[in-house]
């Protein structure tokens, strides 16, 4: 089982411990977890888009997912680990970065050609807002802490009902937009962090990042809008 | 063409490293638009002296934009409003009559203030000492043309080596990160054959020292690039990341016994 | 004391080899027992300190900037010479040697210059090995360019930042030794005095500029690599901090000062534009390749340059020197600019400028070609003056740039004080009465990498150097003197700022000991400088105290030394009643107002010995003998 040893203590773990000990290493882990989370979000959106395809299709998809509880558990633990790593490192990095300038400037103005609030400057803030959204989302869908529905409720019905809750709908809508905001910087930033900055491809990556962010933001934001429109009987 | 300006300066005054500092307002009259920013401060200092007050301490030397000694946060921007320009090359024609100008020192934990606008940047020296060199003793060199360097690599190395070490990257970064500075040096060597033997060790050692000095990390905001008077680009940071990533797989800490023998 | 230059006997080309063979060596295990102080971290200082550290000595390096990387060498633009003959254009050690001696108007020591040319090739090898990113050809080999006054392409360069890259190379080697623990850095420190024990240089007194602490440092050898003193003129192309304090204090402790009046006035700098001006910015000499120098024919012609028709312009260099035209050497170009301005034909509001016009070049080659060649210089010019040289001619004027004079050293680079070595621009150098472009960088690195490491070892191995303690009486005396001086300065509490004295000194020096010097003028200058010195010590105002970062105090010490040095320069200029290189005595010119050298009476190096603050210094002469070169009068017609 040489490869296990390679993965384990001997190599990967050592590497990870060392990486987490340096500012660049932490950023690698940050970027990698971010990239994996983006992958998850894309799959998640794709699955949810089945809501628009049909009740049947969505329900089947959901049931298929839940028919393998082992897999779901592994996926959930994996996701949790990714989120936790991403968040904890973010908190750590942010605290360190603040500490690197204990006394701020009286006046501050960017030399870049841009306006004040940029995605990159507000990663921590947009991330924090995103976290709030995700927690509410988990409370609603995963743990049924708010508005628990009737037993045996079909997935589609459940989704529609939860999305029609005005608080959830509002938070989801705003949260989705912040997801896009977070990714505008996050996506292309990963490439820089992993060292893939190239005069030819970077502009392309940046554009792709923005496009991806817009698609994801609009995609997710569309669900509460769709649900609310349905609620108030607007014909779709 | 020359005009005279009346300005209000708000300058950070701080007696010493431990002292409490604050912004002090000084009106200045009749500043020539042809004067450089530092000459404007010279004029202010002469006047302060006449009034029996202590002149404002600020760092400067070459006044040609190459030594990297001058600094200053001018109205919230490192080296003032112009791109690829040091404070000593900034000229007063860039300002309007009646302007208020806020002048502050570089601020970072790793750049402690010594007095007024003067800060201690020796952290940069220590980062270079950690690995910013090719280990070659005098007397070891072969004929210069035995080392061929393609023009493109040479140009890229030169682009990175143009760093003047002023610290504007740190001062402008919201995280007070020194990544651009370190990246410039690592890139300079990584582009050249002379830098290859110690390539991985260098990336590891310089980053470790950078962290130890208390600089913040890079969050890819790229303010440093806009602030850099020498035009160093953030592609060097990507390069550093790449070098670091590779080195963390490839480079094993050498055994201590290998040095200092004989 | 007789001046023994310790030049080895034998054929010119074998002297250095012979010398190296005969130098005493320090055994490898003993090297770590020796401490060496290096003052200055420019090309000379950084290269010397790094090399000595590599050899195993314990080195301390001092500089007044916050980092050794900021030494003034960083500002050199053009390039560095070396006799590599990579262009296959017939260059050789002999030719570089000859060009340098001739360029220096035959006032340099032949053996030193030959050695400089000999080691020049090694410098490039060393710098390349360090990773200095010199300009390259597409094939990967090194590129060269041509510089003024020579017929071969031997100048290596890194864009317009050659000095920066060479210094960063030396600095990186230095920092490597810091990491190895062989070199200790003392930045933001200023050397204030030299300590002699039994007549041998054994230490220094330094002041920590951040807090005013005085420190005593002992060593077995002291190297001064503190650069030039062009700032005696107040306005110069040098960095603001450049000063003569270290060499001046050493002079006062007994080191002779060589050729103090030999200064180089560079012809193409951006002219002065106001009283508040703090420095002059150099525009590379290469501009004269394409720019045409002119002034209006008529006195006081105030029209815009574009409005002056061709027929009413005087292209005076082309007119007077048809062969060399605008490319005459620096001293000739400078003197002529001054002459036309003195006639009242200078341009700009001050009348102290001449035009450098690119209109013809742009017409001939197109704007793009000119932009590629000089874009960065044009940009810099526009930034400083607000005028666009593509549309209107540049205005230029000469500016003090380099000092060939400095502490007298022998072939070992050792001064008249045993154990005190002087390297780089700080010594009286290999450039005679005028330095060729791109040769200062070469000399600084030659001294530091390839000469001092051998000769310092010879001193260490050859002399009895008993242990000294910094508590000894010599150190106490020097410390008291340094402190006393600072206290005295702070106590004056007069009315005038340090800067105002410096400006006044600069004006005297520029008028009387600048591009053109006369007996009457120099005598007047000496009297004025004495009066200025008197006033300085009674009326200077220095705010703040010693125990803090106090820039006025730093400056005051330097200006006090400049005032004294200024007097010595005038004295030396007065003594040398001939014109040579950058030194032009009005009494010694040809009928066409060209410089006239007097080899019969002045074929020597002046070496001045301090006798006391109010006593006249003694002049010693080191005769110059040229064995392999035939002396000629320079002509650029
Ligand atoms: C604008 C400009 C352009 C030039 N271009 C060229 C060129 O293209 N080619 C060429 O060959 N030459 C050129 N020169 C000349 C050349 O740059 C210098 O002669 C050379 O760099 C001097 O090097 P140095 O090591 O002797 O001294 P510097 O580099 O001046 O270093 C002096 C050092 O001494 C230290 N120091 C001084 N006094 C004290 C003290 N009292 N205590 C402690 N430390 C002290 C300083 O901190 C500094 O580290 C140029 C000069 C100028 C001004
Ligand atoms: S003073 Fe040297 S870069 Fe500004």
Integer Cα distance of C214 and C352 in angstroms: 44
Report, as ranges of residue numbers, the positions in chain A whose pLDDT lies below 50. Answer: 1, 116
Cα C117 from chain centroid (whole Å): 18
Q: CA–CA distance from C632 to each of C74, C102, C104, C105 (Å)?
A: 35, 8, 12, 9
Beta bridge partners of B104: B73
CA distances from B32 to B35, B96, B158, C274, C353 (A): 5, 11, 36, 8, 20
Instruction: Please tell me if the CB atom of residue B67 comes closer than 6 angstroms to any atom of ligand 2.
Output: yes
Question: How far apart are the C-alpha atoms of A192 and A189, rounded to whole Å?
Answer: 5
| H or E segment and range at residue C143 | none
Two structure tokens written together for C359: 């209109």
Contact B230, B162 (CB under 8 A): yes
At residue B254 the predicted structure's pLDDT band, cuts being 50, 70 and 90, is low
Residues 6+ apart with CB under 8 A from B104: A105, A106, A107, B12, B23, B72, B73, B117
* Residue ranges of domains in chain C: 266-400, 479-598
- Regarding the beta carbon of B85 and ligand 2, being less than 6 Å apart is answered no
Pocket test for ligand 1, best of C37, C41, C42, C146 (most atoms within 8 A of CB): C42
Instruction: Starting from the CA of residue C187, give the closest ligand.
Output: 1
Compute the distance from residue C392 Cα to the ligand 1 centre, in Å.
33
- What is the spatial distance between Cα C630 and Cα B241, in angstroms, rounded to a whole number? 61
* Opening angle at CA C225, ends C220 and C229, nearest 5: 140
C-alpha–C-alpha distance, residues B165 and C442, integer Å: 24
Residue A93: CB atoms within 10 Å: 21
Buried-state track C131-148, b at ≥16 Cβ within 10 A, e below 16 = bbbbbbeeeebbbbebbb
Q: What would the pLDDT profile of B90-144 be if each residue is shown by its tens digit? A: 999 999 999 999 999 999 999 999 999 999 999 999 999 999 999 999 999 999 9
C-alpha separations of B135 from B140, B200, B256, C172, C241 in Å = 10, 13, 17, 9, 31
Chain B neighbours among A 8-47 (CB < 8 Å)? 15, 18-19, 22-28
C30 phi and psi angles, rounded to 5 deg: -85, -20
At residue B261, does pLDDT exceed 50? no
Per-window interface: C 539-598 vs B, CB < 8 A: 541, 543-544, 548-549, 551-552
- CA of B156: which chain C residue's CA is closest? C133
Supply the pLDDT for residue B258: 41
Long-range contact list for C524-528, CB < 8 A, 24+ apart?
C525/C566, C525/C570, C526/C567, C526/C570, C526/C571, C526/C574
A60 neighbors A53 (Cβ within 8 angstroms): no
Distance between CA atoms of B223 and B225, rounded to whole angstroms?
A: 5
Q: Are C475 and C203 in contact (CB under 8 A)?
A: yes
pLDDT at residue A11 in the model: 65
Cβ–Cβ gap C384/B54 under 8 Å = no
pLDDT in tens, A63-83: 998 899 999 999 999 999 999
Annotated active-site residue C145? The verdict is: no
pLDDT of residue A9: 54
Yes or no: say if C570 and C232 are a contact pair by the CB < 8 Å rule. Answer: no
Q: Around Cβ C193, how many Cβ atoms within 10 Å?
A: 27
pLDDT of residue C370: 87
- Domain A26-99+119-231, architecture per CATH: Up-down Bundle (1.20)
Smallest Cα distance from A56 to chain B, Å: 44
Question: Coil, strand, or helix at residue C604?
Answer: strand
Helix axes C245-252, C551-575, angle to 10 degrees: 60
Query: How are beta strands C80-81 and B73-74 bridged, if at all?
Result: unpaired
With 0.80 as the threshold, say if the pTM is over it. Answer: yes
Q: Which among C163, C166, C193, C279 is the best mutation to test ligand 1's pocket, defined by most ligand atoms within 8 Å of the CB? A: C163
Q: CB C375: neighbour CB atoms within 10 A?
A: 12
Apex C536 CA angle, C533 and C540, nearest 5: 170
Q: Which fold has domain C266-400?
A: Flavocytochrome C3; Chain A, domain 1 (3.90.700)
Q: Are C240 and B61 within 8 A, CB to CB?
A: yes
Binary contact (B217, A93; C-beta < 8 A): yes
The hierarchical CATH code for the domain C479-598 is 1.20.58.100
Burial of B196 (0-12, 13-18, 19+ CB in 10 A): exposed
User: What is the residue whose two structure tokens read 């020597």?
Assistant: C604
| Best CA proximity match to C76, nearest among C192, C155, C187 | C155
Structure confidence at residue B252 (pLDDT): 66
Partner residue opposite B242 with nearest CB, options A103, A105, A195: A195
Report yes or no: C334 and C265 within 8 Å, Cβ to Cβ.
yes
Q: Give the model's pLDDT for residue C592.
A: 84
**How many Å apart are CA B116 and CA B10, to the nearest integer?**
12
Catalytic residue among C330, C345, C558, C597: C330
Domains of chain B, first to last? 4-115 (3.10.20.30), 122-261 (1.10.1060.10)
Cα B88 to ligand 2 centroid, rounded to whole Å: 5
pLDDT (0 to 100) of residue B158: 96
Residue B248 is nearest to which of A19, A27, A104, comparing CB atoms? A19
Q: Which atom of ligand 1 is nearest to the CA of C282?
A: 1
State whether the beta carbon of C79 lies less than 6 angstroms from ligand 1: yes
**Mutation site for C-interface testing, chosen from B37, B51, B61 by largest number of C Cβ within 10 Å:** B61
Q: Report pLDDT digits (tens) over A138-183.
A: 999 989 888 888 888 899 999 999 999 999 999 999 999 999 999 9
CB pairs under 8 A between A and B: 139
Q: Does A116 touch chain B (CB under 8 A)?
A: no
The rounded distance, in Å, linking the Cα atoms of C113 and C104 is: 10
Q: Who among A110, A189, A196 is closest to B220 (CB)?
A: A189
Q: Do A23 and B210 touch (CB under 8 A)?
A: yes
C39 lines ligand 1 (CB under 6 A): yes
CB contact at 8 A, C411 and C16: no
Q: Are B135 and C176 in contact (CB under 8 A)?
A: yes
The strand pairing partners of B55, in sequence order, are none
Q: C624 with C107: CB under 8 angstroms?
A: yes
pLDDT of the residue at A6: 53
- Determine the Cα–Cα distance for residues C580 and C591; give it in Å rounded to an integer: 16
Number of H-type helices and E-type strands within chain B: 8, 7
Cβ–Cβ contact C231 with B under 8 A: no
Q: Is B105's C-beta closer than 6 angstroms to any atom of ligand 2?
A: no
In this predicted structure, what is the pLDDT of residue B11? 98
**How far is residue C523's CA from residue C149's CA, in Å, rounded to a whole number?**
34
Structure tokens at C90: 């017939």
Which residues of chain C have a pLDDT value below 50?
A: none
For residues B172 and B104, give the distance between their C-alpha atoms in angstroms, rounded to a whole number. 12
Q: Answer whether C246 contacts ligand 1 (Cβ < 6 A).
A: yes
């Amino acid at each position: 089982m040489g490869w296990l040893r390679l993965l384990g203590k001997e190599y990967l773990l050592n590497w990870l411990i060392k990486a987490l000990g340096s500012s660049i290493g932490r950023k690698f882990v940050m970027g990698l977890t971010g990239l994996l989370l983006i992958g998850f979000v894309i799959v998640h959106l794709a699955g949810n888009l089945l809501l628009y395809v049909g009740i049947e299709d969505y329900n089947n998809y959901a049931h298929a997912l839940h028919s393998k509880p082992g897999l779901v558990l592994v996926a959930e633990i994996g996701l949790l680990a990714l989120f936790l790593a991403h968040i904890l490192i973010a908190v750590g990095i942010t605290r360190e970065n603040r500490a690197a300038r204990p006394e701020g400037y009286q006046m501050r103005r960017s030399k870049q050609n841009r306006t004040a609030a940029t995605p990159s400057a507000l990663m921590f803030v947009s991330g924090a807002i995103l976290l709030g959204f995700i927690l509410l989302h988990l409370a609603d869908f995963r743990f049924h802490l708010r508005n628990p529905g009737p037993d045996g409720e079909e997935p589609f019905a459940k989704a529609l009902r939860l999305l029609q809750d005005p608080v959830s709908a509002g938070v989801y809508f705003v949260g989705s937009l912040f997801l896009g905001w977070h990714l505008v910087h996050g996506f292309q930033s990963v490439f820089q962090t992993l060292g893939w900055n190239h005069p030819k491809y970077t502009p392309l990556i940046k554009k792709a990042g923005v496009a991806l962010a817009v698609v994801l933001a609009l995609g997710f934001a569309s669900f509460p809008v769709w649900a609310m429109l349905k609620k108030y009987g607007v014909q779709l | 063409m020359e005009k005279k300006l009346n300005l209000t300066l708000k300058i950070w005054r701080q007696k010493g490293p431990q002292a409490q500092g604050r912004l002090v307002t000084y009106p200045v009259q009749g500043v020539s638009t042809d004067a450089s920013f530092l000459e404007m401060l010279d004029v202010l200092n002469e006047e302060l002296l006449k009034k029996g007050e202590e002149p404002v301490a600020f760092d400067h030397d070459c006044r040609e934009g190459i030594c990297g000694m001058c600094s200053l946060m001018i109205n919230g921007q490192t080296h003032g409003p112009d791109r690829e320009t040091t404070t000593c090359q900034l000229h007063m024609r860039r300002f309007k009559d009646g302007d208020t100008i806020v002048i502050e020192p570089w601020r970072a934990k790793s750049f402690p203030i010594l007095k007024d606008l003067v800060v201690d940047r020796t952290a940069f020296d220590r980062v270079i000492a950690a690995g910013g060199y090719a280990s070659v003793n005098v007397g070891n060199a072969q004929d210069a043309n035995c080392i061929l360097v393609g023009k493109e690599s040479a140009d890229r190395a030169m682009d990175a080596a143009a760093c003047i070490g002023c610290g504007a990257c740190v001062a402008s970064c919201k995280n007070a990160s020194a990544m651009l500075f370190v990246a410039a040096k690592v890139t300079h060597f990584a582009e050249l054959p002379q830098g290859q033997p110690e390539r991985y060790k260098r990336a590891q050692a310089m980053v470790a020292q950078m962290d130890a000095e208390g600089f913040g990390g890079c969050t890819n905001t790229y303010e440093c690039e806009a602030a850099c008077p020498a035009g160093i680009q953030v592609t060097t940071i990507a390069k550093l990341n790449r070098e670091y990533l590779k080195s963390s797989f490839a480079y094993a800490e050498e055994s201590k016994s290998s040095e200092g023998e004989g | 004391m007789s001046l023994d230059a310790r030049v080895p006997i034998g054929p010119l080309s074998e002297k250095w080899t012979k010398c190296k063979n005969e130098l005493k060596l320090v055994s490898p295990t003993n090297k770590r027992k020796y401490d060496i102080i290096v003052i200055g971290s420019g090309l000379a200082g950084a290269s010397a300190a790094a090399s000595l550290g590599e050899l195993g000595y314990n080195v301390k390096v001092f500089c007044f900037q916050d980092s050794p990387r900021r030494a003034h060498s960083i500002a050199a633009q053009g390039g560095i010479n070396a006799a590599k003959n990579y262009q296959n254009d017939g260059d050789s050690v002999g030719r570089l040697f000859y060009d340098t001696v001739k360029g220096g108007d035959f006032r340099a020591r032949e053996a030193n210059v030959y050695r400089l040319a000999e080691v020049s090739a090694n410098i490039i090898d060393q710098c390349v090995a360090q990773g200095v990113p010199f300009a390259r050809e597409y094939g990967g080999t090194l590129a060269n360019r041509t510089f003024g006054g020579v017929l071969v392409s031997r100048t290596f360069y890194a864009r317009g930042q050659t000095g920066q890259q060479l210094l960063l190379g030396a600095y990186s080697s230095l920092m490597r030794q810091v990491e190895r623990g062989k070199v200790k850095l003392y930045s933001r420190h200023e050397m204030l005095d030299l300590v002699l024990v039994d007549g041998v240089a054994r230490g220094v007194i330094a002041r920590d500029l951040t807090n005013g602490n005085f420190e005593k440092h002992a060593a077995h050898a002291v190297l001064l690599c503190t650069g030039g003193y062009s700032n005696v003129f107040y306005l110069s192309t040098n960095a603001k901090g450049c000063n003569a304090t270290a060499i001046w204090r050493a002079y006062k402790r007994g080191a002779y000062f060589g050729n103090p009046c030999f200064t180089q006035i560079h012809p193409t700098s951006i002219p002065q534009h106001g009283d508040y001006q703090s420095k002059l910015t150099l525009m590379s000499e290469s501009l004269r390749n394409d720019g045409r120098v002119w002034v209006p024919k008529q006195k006081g012609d105030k029209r815009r340059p574009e409005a002056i028709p061709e027929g009413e312009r005087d292209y005076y260099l082309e007119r007077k020197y048809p062969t060399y035209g605008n490319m005459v050497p620096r001293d000739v170009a400078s003197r002529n600019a001054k002459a036309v301005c003195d006639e009242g034909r200078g341009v700009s509001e001050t009348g102290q400028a001449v035009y450098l016009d690119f209109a013809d070049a742009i017409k001939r080659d197109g704007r793009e070609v000119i932009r590629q060649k000089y874009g960065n210089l044009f940009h810099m010019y526009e930034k400083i003056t607000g005028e666009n040289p593509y549309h209107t001619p540049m205005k230029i004027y000469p500016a003090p740039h380099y000092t060939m004079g400095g502490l007298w050293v022998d072939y070992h680079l050792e001064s008249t004080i045993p154990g005190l070595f002087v390297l780089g621009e700080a010594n009286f150098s290999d450039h005679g009465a005028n330095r060729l472009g791109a040769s200062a960088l070469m000399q600084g690195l030659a001294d530091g990498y390839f000469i001092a490491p051998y000769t310092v070892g010879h001193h260490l191995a050859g002399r009895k150097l008993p242990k000294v303690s910094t508590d000894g009486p010599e150190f106490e005396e020097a410390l008291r003197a340094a402190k006393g001086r600072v206290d005295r300065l702070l106590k004056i509490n007069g009315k005038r700022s340090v800067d105002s004295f410096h400006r006044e000194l600069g004006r005297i020096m520029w008028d009387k000991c600048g591009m053109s010097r006369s007996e009457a003028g120099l005598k007047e200058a000496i009297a004025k400088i004495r009066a200025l010195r008197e006033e300085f010590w009674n009326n200077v105002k220095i705010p703040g105290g010693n125990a803090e970062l106090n820039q006025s105090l730093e400056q005051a010490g330097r200006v006090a030394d400049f005032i004294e040095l200024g007097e010595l320069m005038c004295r030396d200029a007065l003594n040398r009643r001939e014109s040579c290189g950058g030194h032009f005595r009005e009494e010694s010119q040809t009928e066409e107002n060209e410089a006239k050298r007097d080899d019969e009476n002045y074929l020597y190096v002046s070496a001045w010995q301090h006798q006391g603050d109010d006593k006249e210094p003694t002049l010693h002469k080191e005769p110059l003998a040229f064995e392999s070169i035939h002396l000629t009068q320079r002509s650029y017609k």
